[in-house]
Amino acid sequence: MGNIADAKTADISRAENSVSNIFPEKTVSIRVSPNSYFTALLLGLFFTGFFIYLEMDFWAILLLALSVIILPALAMTDRIAFDGKRIRRTGILPQAWGSLNGYHYRLKLSDIEQVETQALRALKRGGSVFYRYRTAISGKGLKFVFASGGEEYRRMIHNIFPRLSENVLDNRSLELRDYLSEPKEVLMKAEFSHIPPADVLEDSVNNLQKPDKSARRSAENGAAQIEKADYLRRLANELRLSGHLLQALEAFRRALLIQPQDGWLLFEAARCLHSFAGSERDQKLYRKSLAMLRLAEKRAVNDKELLARLGESYFQFGDWERARAVFLKSIDRVEENFRSLRGMAEISLREGKIAHVIHNFLAANRLAETPALRRWTQGEADYFSHLNDDEEYMELEINRINLLETLENSKKTSLKIAMFGFPAILMGMILNESLISNLGWAISSVALLIWAGLLMSLNLFSDRIPYELIEEED
């Protein structure tokens, strides 16, 4: 217990520091996701080699300098910064673009409409999974995207997310706001709490839903036990977000021994088990995670927030029928709430029930507590109303979406064709066969140019067609 107390003291000091960080004395920033720069760098290096092959040395040196010197400099200076009031894009390229067309990458906190976070499994080692989180913050037609990779990401999350309405954040963003911590500190806390390492826990996963009955009966749910359960729940969530899934499941198991009826605890344990089932590709564990979600749903009773979060999890896991039932339970048995109505709108959209989509977005608009959420829900309701009322506009939007699918498929095809040319280039150089090399360079260069053009076209057609353009033509 002494170790747990020490760890709790460390938690309190970190919490005090995080509170002071919510109102930062200086700007915090993070480098933007460098995917576009990497793409430009690879294209530059390829065509540098192509110009060298064509003996166009001047253009090759110019392109190499641009690719190796200019692009990395642009990438290093291109950052997303937060000064306590607004998020903005800094760097040479965004500033130059803004000065040319008067466009500024700035977004006030009050204008943020949605925050979505994706978790990508970057590496798996034993019972641990190394996650890379990708967060997108959008509002007023702007989108800021940044990815995890160190202390900068955690500082951005801890400084921005606590200031936003919960209804702006999706499930995973809420979890990051509440539980994202430094991985080494989390492992130290697990060690203080005598949570065994992952290799020791490999055979204990099946015990998560089957706690020892005698231990459960003997648990005294006094203040000390409840405090211990709360501490274990927080530790479990911190371990889960750090990717230490087996240790997180063990912490959840110990917390459930003390509070087996806690709906929130069951909900979070189910999400952890689902993540572990996905990493192990284990259908049996996947079914157990859904069964635990159902148990959490049963324990939720009239907790509208928990019911809404459960519905979002069902929707994320692909069980749309169950998601609808939970959202309806939240709306009908408890009271209307923003998250459940938004969830019902998304389900109706998947079912093609446009009138229901409009109704649910308008209902959510009435309950939205911030101007940004009211603007977003009204915009969604207006968009789907135009689709429902104007056949010409619906046809244009369907054609745009079909075009996006065609462009996406063509992009993948052109990249595969470009890859086919690389072996021909290599073979021609080894065998000193200019015909084979010429053929490889021609195939790859043309395919990559087409691929780059398709990539820019996808960005161009990704936005919805403004309805005002249709009205002006009429």
CA distances to 32, 82, 108, 145, 159 from 88, rounded to whole Å, are 11, 7, 9, 11, 14
Decide: pTM greater than 0.95: no
Lowest-confidence pick of 161-175, 186-200, 202-216: 202-216
Dihedral (Cα; 172, 242, 151, 112), 10-degree rounding: 0
Look at residue 282 in the predicted model and tell me its pLDDT: 84
- 183-300: which CATH number, 1.10.3710, 1.20.5, 3.30.2000, 1.25.40? 1.25.40
- Say if CB 75 and CB 31 are below 8 A apart: yes
Q: How confident is the model at residue 84 (pLDDT cuts 50, 70, 90)?
A: confident
Provide the token pair at 74. Answer: 């642009």
Report d(CA 180, CA 58) in Å as an integer: 50
Q: Cα separation of 129 and 240, whole Å?
A: 9
Calpha distance 283→273 (Å, rounded): 11
In 23-132, which residue ranges form alpha helices assigned H by DSSP?
A: 35-53, 57-65, 71-77, 92-101
Q: What is the mean pLDDT of residues 96-105?
A: 70
The band of 24, judged by pLDDT with boundaries at 50, 70 and 90, is very low
Here the tokens at position 223 are: 């203040």
In the chain, the largest separation of any two C-alpha atoms, in whole Å, equals 82
* Higher pLDDT pick, 19 / 306: 306
Local structure of 301: helix, strand or coil: coil
Q: For 308-329, how does the pLDDT look when each residue is reduced to its tens digit (9 = 90+)?
A: 999 999 998 888 899 999 999 8
Residue range 428-452, pLDDT digits in tens: 888 888 888 889 999 999 999 999 9
